[in-house]
Amino acid sequence: MSRTALLTDHQWARIESLMPSSDGSAGRPFRDHRSIVEGIIYRFRAGIPWRDLPENFGPWQTVWKRHRRFSGDGTWDKIHSRLLAEA
Protein backbone atom coordinates (compact mmCIF):
# COMPACT_ATOMS: atom_id res chain seq x y z
CA MET A 1 0.00 0.00 0.00
CA SER A 2 1.34 3.41 -0.88
CA ARG A 3 1.35 6.41 1.38
CA THR A 4 -1.54 8.03 -0.48
CA ALA A 5 -3.61 5.00 -1.59
CA LEU A 6 -5.54 4.55 1.61
CA LEU A 7 -8.51 2.33 0.76
CA THR A 8 -8.27 -1.24 -0.42
CA ASP A 9 -10.52 -2.30 -3.29
CA HIS A 10 -12.68 -4.24 -0.81
CA GLN A 11 -13.07 -1.21 1.47
CA TRP A 12 -13.96 1.03 -1.46
CA ALA A 13 -16.53 -1.49 -2.76
CA ARG A 14 -18.34 -1.33 0.60
CA ILE A 15 -19.03 2.42 0.26
CA GLU A 16 -18.92 3.09 -3.48
CA SER A 17 -22.66 2.60 -3.99
CA LEU A 18 -23.39 5.29 -1.38
CA MET A 19 -21.58 8.02 -3.31
CA PRO A 20 -23.88 10.62 -4.89
CA SER A 21 -24.07 10.93 -8.66
CA SER A 22 -23.53 14.16 -10.57
CA ASP A 23 -25.86 13.02 -13.37
CA GLY A 24 -28.47 15.65 -14.11
CA SER A 25 -26.60 18.35 -12.19
CA ALA A 26 -25.50 21.59 -13.77
CA GLY A 27 -21.77 22.07 -14.16
CA ARG A 28 -18.92 19.61 -14.44
CA PRO A 29 -19.34 15.96 -13.56
CA PHE A 30 -17.76 14.86 -10.27
CA ARG A 31 -14.10 13.95 -10.26
CA ASP A 32 -13.37 10.36 -9.24
CA HIS A 33 -14.95 9.88 -5.80
CA ARG A 34 -12.30 7.42 -4.63
CA SER A 35 -9.38 9.85 -4.96
CA ILE A 36 -11.42 12.57 -3.25
CA VAL A 37 -12.41 10.31 -0.33
CA GLU A 38 -8.80 9.16 0.01
CA GLY A 39 -7.73 12.84 0.08
CA ILE A 40 -10.19 13.51 2.89
CA ILE A 41 -8.95 10.48 4.82
CA TYR A 42 -5.34 11.52 4.25
CA ARG A 43 -6.01 15.06 5.46
CA PHE A 44 -7.58 13.91 8.73
CA ARG A 45 -5.07 11.12 9.30
CA ALA A 46 -2.09 13.44 8.75
CA GLY A 47 -3.64 16.37 10.65
CA ILE A 48 -2.70 18.85 7.94
CA PRO A 49 -4.49 21.93 6.58
CA TRP A 50 -6.54 21.43 3.42
CA ARG A 51 -4.04 23.50 1.45
CA ASP A 52 -1.25 21.03 2.26
CA LEU A 53 -2.89 18.01 0.59
CA PRO A 54 -0.57 16.29 -1.89
CA GLU A 55 -1.41 17.15 -5.51
CA ASN A 56 -2.22 13.55 -6.48
CA PHE A 57 -5.60 13.94 -4.71
CA GLY A 58 -6.50 16.82 -7.00
CA PRO A 59 -6.96 20.47 -6.12
CA TRP A 60 -7.39 20.90 -2.38
CA GLN A 61 -10.42 23.11 -3.03
CA THR A 62 -12.18 20.22 -4.80
CA VAL A 63 -11.47 17.84 -1.93
CA TRP A 64 -12.68 20.40 0.63
CA LYS A 65 -15.85 21.21 -1.33
CA ARG A 66 -16.73 17.53 -1.73
CA HIS A 67 -16.18 16.92 2.00
CA ARG A 68 -18.44 19.85 2.78
CA ARG A 69 -21.06 18.61 0.31
CA PHE A 70 -20.97 15.08 1.74
CA SER A 71 -21.39 16.52 5.23
CA GLY A 72 -24.41 18.57 4.18
CA ASP A 73 -26.23 16.03 2.02
CA GLY A 74 -25.98 13.11 4.46
CA THR A 75 -23.46 11.02 2.50
CA TRP A 76 -21.15 10.62 5.51
CA ASP A 77 -24.15 9.66 7.67
CA LYS A 78 -25.13 6.93 5.19
CA ILE A 79 -21.56 5.60 5.07
CA HIS A 80 -21.24 5.54 8.86
CA SER A 81 -24.64 3.86 9.25
CA ARG A 82 -23.79 1.12 6.75
CA LEU A 83 -20.37 0.44 8.24
CA LEU A 84 -21.82 0.37 11.76
CA ALA A 85 -24.54 -2.05 10.66
CA GLU A 86 -21.91 -4.33 9.07
CA ALA A 87 -19.69 -4.27 12.17
Residues 6+ apart with CB under 8 A from 45: 6
pLDDT digits 0-9 by tens, 63-73: 999 999 999 99
| pTM for this entry | 0.84
pLDDT digits 0-9 by tens, 26-37: 667 777 899 999
Classify residue 4 by its DSSP letter: S
DSSP alpha helix (H) spans, 5-59: 9-16, 33-46
Question: In 3D, which of 59, 62, 55 has the Cα closest to residue 30?
Answer: 62
Q: Is pLDDT at 1 greater than 60 in this prediction?
A: no
Q: Is pLDDT at 4 greater than 70 in this prediction?
A: no
In sign, the C-alpha dihedral spanning 56, 14, 71, 32 is: positive
